[in-house]
Structure 1
Amino acid sequence: MDIPQLTSDCSQCAGLCCIGLSFQQGDDFAIDKPSGTPCPNLDQSHRCKIHADLKDKGFEGCIKFDCAGAGQRVTQMRFNGETWQDHPELIFAMMRDFENLRPLHERLQQLVEAGAKSLPDALESERIALIARTSRVWADTDSLRKRFNTFLKAVAKTQTS
């Protein structure tokens, strides 16, 4: 199976979580930041200026966050390594693609994890089919989401019986 990388590689990303996500000041973030606004801690090379001190500076939410590889996939595969900082006109398309791809990568992680369980043949076949389908698309659909949820419910039933 050709599964995209499901772990974050910030060196291959354009800081999409640092621009696309909103922050609300509280336990996890020291500031409010709306979606579409670059984090003030993001430098010109898409790196966090306070990465070594995130917890001390009040950004524990950044430590907890993992895009499951969606950021670098959008940056490298959809935009050929180009960035919104070099080409500001890309910002909205990059954010849109990141928000579309992130839940798919999270589902792929769950499908990979489900492979560690002893599944009946029919569920294992569906798991493999879902991985293949989810790995090829760039945006979620109602039918794919419904199929995934049906699969998860069936897996849960096999684990409780």
Structure 2
Amino acid sequence: MTDLPDLTSDCSQCAALCCVGLTLDKGDLFSFDKPAGTPCPNLDGHLCSCHDQLDEIGNHGCVLYDCAGAGQRVTQLRFNGESWRDDPTLLPAMIRDFERLKPLHERMKQLTEAETLALTEALETERQRLLRKCARLWADTPTLASDYEQFLSDLAHHARA
């Protein structure tokens, strides 16, 4: 499907939205607690100051995390490359859009990766239908289509079925 966005994360094109927007809970995956909306203490500008040591310092969750390109979509296409670092008033809107767009990017990535599975004809037809709907929603994300929340709910239902 050619009208899908690049679903590969590119941190160099993002404003560290995962490092600010996500909640971190101290435990097996993270070495400290961090509430959503608070920049990670390891941030240096928009990059991780200890990225090459994440496993060693107990932050394996950061190594595992992948926004499927949602962070750079928000930063580059929704905010024209602007950052909350330069204008802190942008942070709430950037985090809101990241939280809304991330599940859509994750679903598109899952549906794209499912192409490698031996699906029945009916499941493959459904996979393609869902991927087309994701692509339409993605194209509408300057405004985040009104049926977006319902669509995510429908996708969750299909995942359980």
TM-score of Structure 1 vs Structure 2, range by shorter chain: 0.7 to 0.9
What are the within-5 Å matches in structure 2 for residues 52-67 of structure 1? 52-67=52-67
Alignment of 1:96-107 (within 5 A): 96-107=96-107
Paired residue secondary structure (1:115)? helix
8 A Cα contact 2:9 2:72, kept in partner: yes
Quote the Cα distance in structure 2 between the aligned partners of 1:68 and 1:112: 11
2:103 touches 2:152 (CA, 8 Å); kept in 1? no
Amino acid at match of 2:74: V
Question: Could you tell me which of 145, 148, 159 is aligned with 2:153?
Answer: 145
Counterpart amino acid of 1:141? E
> Which ranges in structure 1 are unaligned for 5 or more consecutive residues?
154-161
For 1:8 and 1:106, locate their aligned partners in 2 and report how far apart those are by CA, in whole Å: 11
Q: Structure 1 residues 143 and 102 mapped into 2: Cα distance closer, same or farther (>3 Å)?
A: closer
Aligned match of 2:24: 23
Report the aligned-residue RMSD: 2.0
Q: Equivalents in 2 of 1:101, 1:70: separation in Å? A: 6
Q: Residue 51 and residue 147 in structure 1: after superposition, are their counterparts in 2 closer, same or farther (change >3 A)?
A: closer
Question: For the Cα contact (< 8 Å) 1:30–1:58, is it kept in 2?
Answer: yes
TM-score normalised by L of structure 2: 0.84
Counterpart Cα distance in 1 of 2:152 and 2:7:
19
List aligned pairs for 1:69-80, cutoff 5 A: 69-80=69-80
1:109-120 map, 5 Å: 109-120=109-120
> How many angstroms apart in 2 are the aligned matches of 1:88 and 1:42?
15
Deviations 1:24-65, CA, capped at 9 Å, x for gaps? 112221211110000011112x00001111111221111111
Unaligned runs of 5+ in 2: none
What's 2:34 paired with? 33
How has the CA–CA distance of structure 1 residues 136 and 89 changed in structure 2, closer, same or farther, with 3 Å as cutoff?
farther
CA deviation after TM superposition for structure 1 residue 2, in Å: 0.9
- Report the TM-score, using the length of structure 1 for normalisation: 0.84
How many positions carry a matched residue from both structures?
Answer: 152
